[in-house]
Chains A and B, each alone.
Chain A
């Protein structure tokens, strides 16, 4: 379960404070699929980054399974991410010096999983990239890179997957494939999925939608969980 209590983010913009995210209370139950939607600059990615502990909020608490992650150190956050959170970026962010296989392997090596090699192969198979396992990111298409990124996000069987516009950098048909893959995987692994998108069609597939505008939730759009 993810609980946000009065979470806000203010950054310094040319000497002036700029509030990207106004204090927000929100709860995401385990296994839920939540879509965060809104126009560019509305604070969607910032919120997702805060949940992943990639950034620290200016105020408020973020509880993941009861742990207040705002009290954790950088390294504590890294360990939390390694075990509980998988992240998929709009721009894939694979390590360019590693092959597809190695990119999937890395989180498991960090977590010292014994079955890392076998599982990496299995994950690549799951995303349909067995043939391309030993290619470098520069040798893969955008869709293929994103599939590697999804395999990597799933590597340690995290209960939570956060995806930041995972199809935003892909053409529509590839994007649809990626999305289907993500949703299939989510169903199979029964994980919480929080997805940032401005694709209305995509958002409609979610259990819940959180609509942001100028760093604030837009009230009517918040629907009660079904």
Chain B
């Protein structure tokens, strides 16, 4: 053992520089795994036990409608019975606000939450520079997010207009319990006193408010109370949640996020592993004589294998330890990088022992697994090599090698499954990786063959560059794999992003509506229409579409028979609240696929409805609405819910408390991507809601000039405070931000892969440098100038880079096409600039790295080199 260990240390002393880059790859992979796992475990630790703060209560009852008497009575009864120890109401509503004192300032959409003194039961509402107390809100006080102050150019003490009422800004919100980080919001948060909400007039009929009842419940009673309330409110359109469910779900999501994100690190590691495998092969070739000498002076094959395995093991440990150190640095820098986000998530950003252990274990495993097969070659080194170069006899099939290869494969799948937390994902990842590597390898082979004709090029430098790329034993393949994969990631993501943004921009095209009005009351209809007509000038005036909010509470059909909301909820994905409309004509993005569309006349007798085809098909909803909802005892058998809703069937709707039974007279297909005309699942024939109150929405093309847009919004909101304006251009901006954030994240991943590619490239260059130095010496002796040798190197790596870039670009085209057409379903378009730009940049990158790594070759004096040989 001492011999093996000492020998391994001596070998490291001699060759660590050549192997360094591969173990830096290991370090990067380990660092990503450790950092990602640590961050998420930190967040998980911070959140655990704070699930109550997410709900701000033990249990939360929510509804889209004002509380009905039975609900309030039941809650009162539970409070009397002691199962509920405290209650606090809150209402969330989307609305527009604007500064009162600054004429012409644009109105902004906000997410308003009106709360009672007891809010929150758990967690804290933190303000900047002061402590929250409900007294701040009393008598029309308002707390706002700092971004709103910035947008309005106002400060604490100034006043803003919310609905019909003025409020005084009394503080700025730093964080609030339960506000989801990074979640898509339509506007910044604003808090007011629930007692002041009525005076704003925002809770007018049909407005989009969420009514919340926060409950404090003694822990033992929690589960049963929630079950009982759910049962009691099953026909009341009321949802009941408790914190433990939220906790479970958060836990589950974080675990999944941790496992999936760490796979990025694993991919980098495996890439490093491929580099290690390749370099080990070259390394053994270079060590043949030393191995023969060791065998000649008495060491067994097992001892020699032991020496080199120990070497790999020690370097693997060093690389993994370096990775942990890198992760520690990243973690130390993270809070300042995250800035405000870190403040909102008071997690302990440090390395967690479990993440460190996993990183070390995976780093070490990958190092060993990828080097063991090439190292097995040392068994075949014969000491007779020292007497003469023995002709290589055809070796019989090396069963041990194949057995070990198989075992290594299984072990790698095991590592992937362990890291992904799922055998299935592990298998998929390994399969995907093998397929990708195979395809990349094949593409590399074909492209290398494609440049073969250049061997007869006129230019001496180009001719030799191509010869070097195609010669056996060069590191071409592994460089192509590593660099190609990195390019593939980055270009793929870039093309998806470009397509996504282009597609969205097309939809918001120059003449498409880009402003939406919601919550227009019946009494405001004419005034708003007149306002829009005037603002629109000569263009045809925008239509105001009537909308009502409805729930399906029953279906009487040949194949479907659902008696009440309870059955609808259990049976199919129809349980959500729908926004419905009525009109006499089909929109341009609709076509009738069954039944017949009605004529212009309003219905006089039984109401009629046209349904969207996917609602008709029960298969479409399989598992959709039921995910995450446990089956209650005595749940209805599924027999009656599988079937199609057909023309002629009757559906019962609850339209704000009124039951409307309508006959299905047609089934429509709706092009949802073309949302300009709006998309409605249920369209009724005019006259179906005779007399029922409803609101209107409108979509129109706003002014192009930003100032004019703001003026128009402000004028509209000033005249009609309850009307909300959704500016598509702002949503587009938000969307672009989200897309570029995601793109940045994935580009970082691609960058990591490309960085490992560069390291593998540098490693491969330094591994084969001795041969190049020798060749350069001979060429120089024969009269080649230093410049010619430099040109040769530049061209060689340029050709290599161009091939790698082409592989990556081709892969990126396939990837972005597949994502566009299959996953995201939007039209795909090839981007020449990304493809060719990517190839050129990769070629330049590889050429630069290759030449810089080969500076030695240029510097060496030929005589010294030739003497040493």
* Interfacial residues, chain A to chain B (CB-CB below 8 A): 11-13, 45-46, 48-49, 52, 54-55, 74-75, 78-79, 81-83, 87, 89, 91, 93-98, 102, 106-107, 109-112, 138, 152, 155-156, 164
Contacts and interface: CB of A to CB of B under 8 A. Distances in A.
Contact of B298 (A48, A83, A97, A164): A83
A98 B9 CA distance: 11
B393 interface: yes
B293 A94 contact: yes
Contacts of B6: 109
B3 A112 contact: yes
A95 B14 CA distance: 11
Contacts of B15: 97
A208 B298 CA distance: 28
Given A93-B386, A97-B290, A152 B393 contact: no
B463 interface: no
Contacts of A54: 296, 382-384, 386-387
Nearest to A56: B384
A109 B303 CA distance: 11
A115 B387 CA distance: 31
Contacts of B7: 106, 109
Given A106-B299, A152-B297, 17 more contacts: A13-B391, A54-B382, A54-B387, A74-B300, A78-B295, A78-B299, A79-B298, A79-B300, A81-B296, A81-B297, A81-B298, A95-B293, A96-B290, A98-B10, A110-B294, A111-B298, A138-B868
Contacts of A82: 297-299
B449 interface: no
A87 B296 contact: yes
Contacts of A156: 298
B866 to A, nearest CB: 14
B297 A107 contact: yes
B387 A46 contact: yes
A49 B384 contact: yes
Interface string B58-80: 00000000000000000000000
A78 B18 CA distance: 30
Given A87-B296, A112-B3, A152-B297, A75 B302 contact: yes
Contacts of B868: 138
Contacts of A75: 300-302
Contacts of B391: 11-13
A82 B290 CA distance: 16
B302 to A, nearest CB: 7
A158 B301 CA distance: 21
A177 to B, nearest CB: 23
Interface in B270-315: 289-290, 292-303
B223 interface: no
B293 A97 contact: no
Contacts of B294: 95, 106, 110
Contacts of A98: 10, 14
Contacts of A78: 295, 298-301, 383
16 contacts: A45-B387, A54-B382, A74-B295, A78-B299, A78-B301, A79-B298, A79-B300, A82-B299, A91-B386, A93-B289, A93-B292, A97-B15, A97-B290, A109-B6, A109-B7, A164-B387
Contacts of B299: 78, 82, 106, 110
A93 B3 contact: no
Contacts of A96: 14, 290
Contacts of B297: 81-82, 87, 106-107, 110, 152, 155
A79 B297 CA distance: 8
* Interface size, B (range): 20 to 34
Given A54-B382, A106-B7, A95 B290 contact: yes
A217 to B, nearest CB: 20
Interface string B792-805: 00000000000000
B169 to A, nearest CB: 74
A89 B383 CA distance: 12
Contacts of B13: 97
B388 interface: yes
Contacts of A11: 391
B179 to A, nearest CB: 61
Contacts of B382: 54-55
Given A12-B391, A12-B393, A93 B293 contact: yes
Nearest to A46: B387
Rank and list the top 4 A-B pairs by shortest CB-CB distance, nearest first.
Answer: A82-B298, A97-B14, A55-B384, A75-B300
A112 B303 CA distance: 13
A49 B384 CA distance: 7
A152 B382 CA distance: 20
B601 interface: no
Max chain A C-beta neighbours (<10 A), residue from B2, B293, B303:
B293
B11 interface: yes
A46 B384 CA distance: 9
Interface in B462-487: none
A14 to B, nearest CB: 9
A89 B298 contact: no
A106 B290 CA distance: 12
Contacts of A87: 296-297
B387 A55 contact: yes
Contacts of A79: 298, 300
Max chain B C-beta neighbours (<10 A), residue from A79, A95, A156, A164:
A95
Contacts of B14: 96-98
Interface string B8-25: 001101110000000000
Max chain B C-beta neighbours (<10 A), residue from A12, A49, A98, A109:
A109
A215 B387 CA distance: 16
B298 A110 contact: yes
Given A12-B393, A54-B382, A75-B301, A45 B388 contact: yes
Nearest to A153: B297
Contacts of A49: 384, 387
Contacts of A152: 297
A110 B303 CA distance: 9
Contacts of B300: 74-75, 78-79
Interface string B387-399: 1100101000000
Nearest to A49: B387
A48 B387 CA distance: 9
Contacts of B384: 49, 54-55
A75 B391 CA distance: 22
A50 B300 CA distance: 18
B385 to A, nearest CB: 9
B701 to A, nearest CB: 76
A184 to B, nearest CB: 22
Nearest to B304: A78
A141 to B, nearest CB: 12
Max chain B C-beta neighbours (<10 A), residue from A87, A94, A156, A164:
A87
A93 to B, nearest CB: 5
A97 B291 CA distance: 12
A106 B298 CA distance: 9
Interface string B483-516: 0000000000000000000000000000000000
A114 to B, nearest CB: 11
A154 to B, nearest CB: 11
A152 B298 CA distance: 12
Contacts of B292: 93
A155 B6 CA distance: 18
A222 to B, nearest CB: 24
Contacts of B296: 52, 54, 81, 87, 93
A183 B626 CA distance: 93
A102 B6 CA distance: 10
A87 B294 CA distance: 12
B342 to A, nearest CB: 48
A89 B11 CA distance: 23
Max chain B C-beta neighbours (<10 A), residue from A12, A82, A152:
A82
Contacts of A155: 297
B826 to A, nearest CB: 58
Nearest to A82: B298
